[in-house]
């Protein structure tokens, strides 16, 4: 009978662990990513390159990545001048924190001096 008791405890522990893992996976699956989107028309290329290298470094603590940096292929509406840059973040909170705290917050003025930009942060669709 002692063997059955041990088996029951192991079985219950396994079920509890499995339920915890499933809950964690479900929580991650419903997480919404966020994106920083910028339309960038560079007016001072050397200054913009200096800004860009620092801006890319500022993304690392947030596990963020530039996923688009290209001239758009216009299909409708007014043409964007320059490139579109899209950076992905794990969450809206991460994107907002990145934008509003150093070191990136201190770089905004550099970007504004070296390029004409329109800058947005948007929440994505939960994955």
DSSP sequence for 27-62: HHHT---EEEEEEEEES-HHHHHHHHHHHHHHHGGG
Model-level pTM? 0.75
Tell me, what DSSP letter sits at residue 103? T
Mean pLDDT by runs of 10 across the 127 residues of the chain is 47 43 51 97 97 96 97 90 96 98 97 97 95
pLDDT at res. 21: 44
pLDDT at res. 30: 75
The closest of 78, 77, 90, 74 to 123, measured between CA atoms, is 90
CATH of 32-123 given 3.50.50.60, 1.10.260.40, 3.30.70.100, 3.40.50.2300: 3.30.70.100
pLDDT at res. 80: 80
pLDDT at res. 91: 97
pLDDT at res. 15: 40
């Amino acid at each position: 009978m002692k063997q059955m008791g041990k088996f029951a405890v192991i079985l219950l522990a396994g079920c509890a662990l499995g339920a915890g893992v499933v809950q964690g996976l479900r929580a991650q699956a419903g997480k919404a990513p966020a994106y920083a989107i910028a339309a960038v028309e560079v007016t001072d290329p050397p200054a913009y390159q200096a800004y860009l290298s620092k801006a890319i470094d500022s993304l690392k603590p947030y596990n963020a990545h530039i996923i688009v940096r290209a001239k758009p292929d216009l299909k409708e509406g007014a043409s964007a001048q320059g490139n579109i840059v899209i950076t992905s973040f794990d969450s809206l909170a991460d994107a907002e924190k990145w934008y509003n705290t150093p070191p990136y917050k201190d770089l905004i003025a550099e970007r504004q001096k070296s390029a004409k930009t329109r800058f947005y942060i948007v929440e994505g669709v939960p994955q």
